[in-house]
Chain A
Amino acid sequence: AQTVTQSQPEMSVQEAETVTLSCTYDTSESDYYLFWYKQPPSRQMILVIRQEAYKQQNATENRFSVNFQKAAKSFSLKISDSQLGDAAMYFCAYRRLTNAGKSTFGDGTTLTVKP
């Protein structure tokens, strides 16, 4: 069974600084997808960024980028120029290529942004 581990329950960053959230996962499959979701206090789950395992290039979405290390099964999220609106809980998630309904989520990292 796949597992996703987020080892940092809480992180904080100064506004305009950069922060990296860690995620590791365990799988025996070679093709899969990895996601980072943001959950603000409103509870709405918002997709931040997605990475296909077969792509070596790290995904980037504006101020958000990932460091995907397939051999190490590591998938960290870097937030540059942090903004107050980035404060939220962040979840790392794994989805198989097939039978994709069975997504696996980590327990989340709460990010605080200090003004």
Chain B
Amino acid sequence: NAGVTQTPKFQVLKTGQSMTLQCAQDMNHNSMYWYRQDPGMGLRLIYYSASEGTTDKGEVPNGYNVSRLNKREFSLRLESAAPSQTSVYFCASSEGYRGTDTQYFGPGTRLTVL
């Protein structure tokens, strides 16, 4: 039982390049989330998927797209990377979409955009 896994762990991009961050969970959770964490700050929600087949914008969605590929996988895409997107990206999942549902986090992806 690996929990929440993310690939890659590290990535360096040039401005304008695109890439997809992958996230998978093996806990049969319905809800999945993408957050970003900038230096010295807490996590901010980019997008979330309350259930398979649905996605919604969070606090900072501009410059990102997401795909809930199936119940296990939730990917985050940067179409044209910008230096302002340099951050650590965390994927999380929870059994349901209720406030009481514990969120389990992946180990994070450190992205640098030059």
Contact = CB atoms under 8 A, between A and B. Distances in A.
B52 to A, nearest CB: 14
B53 interface: no
A33 B97 CA distance: 13
A47 interface: yes
B103 interface: yes
24 contacts: A9-B40, A32-B99, A42-B107, A43-B108, A45-B43, A45-B90, A45-B92, A50-B102, A52-B100, A91-B42, A93-B42, A98-B99, A100-B97, A100-B98, A100-B101, A101-B33, A101-B56, A102-B45, A102-B58, A102-B59, A103-B45, A105-B44, A107-B40, A107-B42
Interface of B: 31, 33, 40-45, 48, 50, 56, 58-59, 88, 90, 92, 97-103, 105, 107-108
A95 B99 contact: yes
Contacts of A43: 88, 107-108
A101 B59 CA distance: 10
Can you list the 10 inter-chain pairs with the closest CB atoms, starting with the nearest? A105-B42, A45-B105, A101-B48, A100-B99, A33-B99, A95-B99, A97-B99, A43-B108, A105-B43, A107-B42
Which of A98, A101, A106 has most B Cβ within 10 Å? A101
A107 B41 contact: yes
Interface residues of A, number: 26
Nearest to A45: B105
Interface of A: 4, 9, 32-33, 42-47, 50, 52, 91, 93, 95-98, 100-103, 105-108
A100 B44 CA distance: 14
Nearest to A103: B45
A75 B53 CA distance: 36
A33 B88 CA distance: 25
Contacts of B41: 107-108
Which of B31, B42, B50, B98 has most A Cβ within 10 Å? B42
